[in-house]
Amino acid sequence: MGSRRFVVLLFVLLAVTATLVSAQTFRGTILGTVTDTSGAVVPGATVKAKNAATGLERTALTSAEGNYSIPELPIGNYTVTVTQSGFQTASNTNVVVDVATERRVDIALKPGQVTDTVEVTGEAIAQVDTTNDVLGGTLDAQAIANIPVNGRDYTKLIYLNPGVAGSPDQISDSPGSFGTFSMNGSRGRSNNFLLDGLDNNAYSTSNQGFSNQVANPSPDAVAEFKVITSNFSAEYGRVGGAVVNVAMRSGTNQAKNRNATTTMISPRARPNRKPMVRSRAPTRLSSTMSENRTVMTDTISKVARKVPPSTTA
C-alpha cells in the first residue's frame, strides 16, 4: 500500500514538474504593456497577433498591470492589434518575430471610438531583443539565399558569428566539416543542434569527425536559424559551446514557386586548367490547401559540378 502511494505521488510530482519546465523552442514571443496617453496601464484589453503570410491569429488579454504575452508564435511578420472600450483601436504592422526571440511591443491607446484605428508600422518598434542578454546572431531566409554556400552546408554560415573558430579541417568540403566548429574555445562536439525545437544531435561515438547532426537540412529548406554563443538560459543546457536553433520553412496562403541558380567559380585554378564551376538550382514550392488553416512547402535542390578539360600551353 505504501509503495503504491509512493508511485502515485511520484507520478503527480513528475506531471507538475513537466508543466513548469520550459521546453527548448524555435518559436518567438510578442509581449509588452498597454497604457493610455497619460501612462496609466490599461487592464483587460484584447491583444491579437496575426501572421501576415499564413493568417495565423493568437489572442491574449492584458493583466491588471497592463502586461500581455503571446508565446509560441511561428517566425514571420505579424500585425498586433489592441482593442478596448473607450479607446481607439491600435494596430502595429510589420512586427518581425525571429527564432526563439521575444519581441517587445508597447502600445499607448488614445481615447476615442473603437471603430477608429491608429496604425503604426514596425519601423517604429525596436527590432532588437530587449528582454534578455544572450549573445549570438540570427540569419534569416534572405541572408541564407543571398550568401553563396559551398558544399550545400548551412552550418558554414555559422562562421559569420564572432567567437567561432574552424575545426582542424578548416571548413573543407570533406564530410568532416559538417557541423564541426568551435565556439569560444570549446570542442567541436560541444554544440547543441535543434531542428524545429527537436533534438538534432548525433550522440553516437562514431560521429567524431563526421556530422554532429542527425539531419543536415538544405539551406533552401531553412527559413531562419539562430546561433546562441553565450548566456543562454537553462532551457537549452547540455553543452558548453553554442546552441544552433534552426526553423524550417513553412507554406503560406499564396501559392508560389521560386527557381534560382547560383554559380560559384573555384578561385584556385591550376596552371593550364580552367576553374571548376559549381551551380545549384533550388526549386521551392509553397501552396495552401485551406486558407489560414493548412499550408505546405517543399524544396528540391540540384547541384551540378562542371570541370573543364585540361588545356596545354
CATH of segment(s) 135-248: 2.170.130.10
Q: Tell me the average pLDDT across 120-147.
A: 76
Selected residue with higher pLDDT from 82 and 148: 82
Tell me: pLDDT of 262 over 80.
no
Confidence of residue 71 (pLDDT cuts 50, 70, 90): very high
Q: Indicate the domain borders of the chain.
A: 23-124, 135-248, 256-306
Confidence of residue 144 (pLDDT cuts 50, 70, 90): confident
Distance between CA 301 and CA 219 in Å, rounded?
9
Distance between CA 243 and CA 236 in Å, rounded?
8
pLDDT at 73: 95
Share above pLDDT 90 across residues of the chain, in percent, rounded to a whole number: 28
Selected residue with higher pLDDT from 210 and 166: 166
Q: Which alpha helices (H) appear in the chain, and where do they start and end?
A: 2-20, 141-146
Considering only 4-8, 128-132, 162-166, 172-176, which range has the smallest mean pLDDT?
172-176
- Residue 203: how many other CB atoms lie within 10 Å: 9
* Per-chain mean pLDDT for the chain: 75
Confidence of residue 141 (pLDDT cuts 50, 70, 90): confident
Distance between CA 201 and CA 206 in Å, rounded?
13
Selected residue with higher pLDDT from 146 and 82: 82
23-124, CATH topology level: Immunoglobulin-like (2.60.40)
Selected residue with higher pLDDT from 15 and 77: 77
Alpha carbon 121 to its chain's center: 22
Say whether 135-248 and 23-124 share the same fold: no
Among 199, 226, 247, residue whose Cα is nearest residue 75: 247
Considering only 11-20, 58-67, 222-231, which range has the smallest mean pLDDT?
11-20
Tell me: pLDDT of 210 over 60.
no
Distance between CA 246 and CA 25 in Å, rounded?
10
Straight-line distance from the first to the last Cα atom of the chain, in angstroms, rounded to the nearest whole number: 93
Q: Tell me the average pLDDT across 237-253.
A: 82
Joined together, the cell numbers standing for residue 220 give 533552401
Please state the length of the chain.
313
Selected residue with higher pLDDT from 225 and 240: 225
Strands 222-230 and 135-140 come out as antiparallel
CB 224 within 8 A of CB 27: no
Distance between CA 88 and CA 85 in Å, rounded?
8
pLDDT at 24: 67
Tell me: pLDDT of 7 over 60.
no
Distance between CA 102 and CA 33 in Å, rounded?
14
Tell me: pLDDT of 286 over 70.
no
* Residue whose C-alpha cell reads 518559436 in the numeric block: 27
**In this structure, what is the dihedral angle of CA atoms 79, 85, 87, 88, given to the nearest 10 degrees?**
50
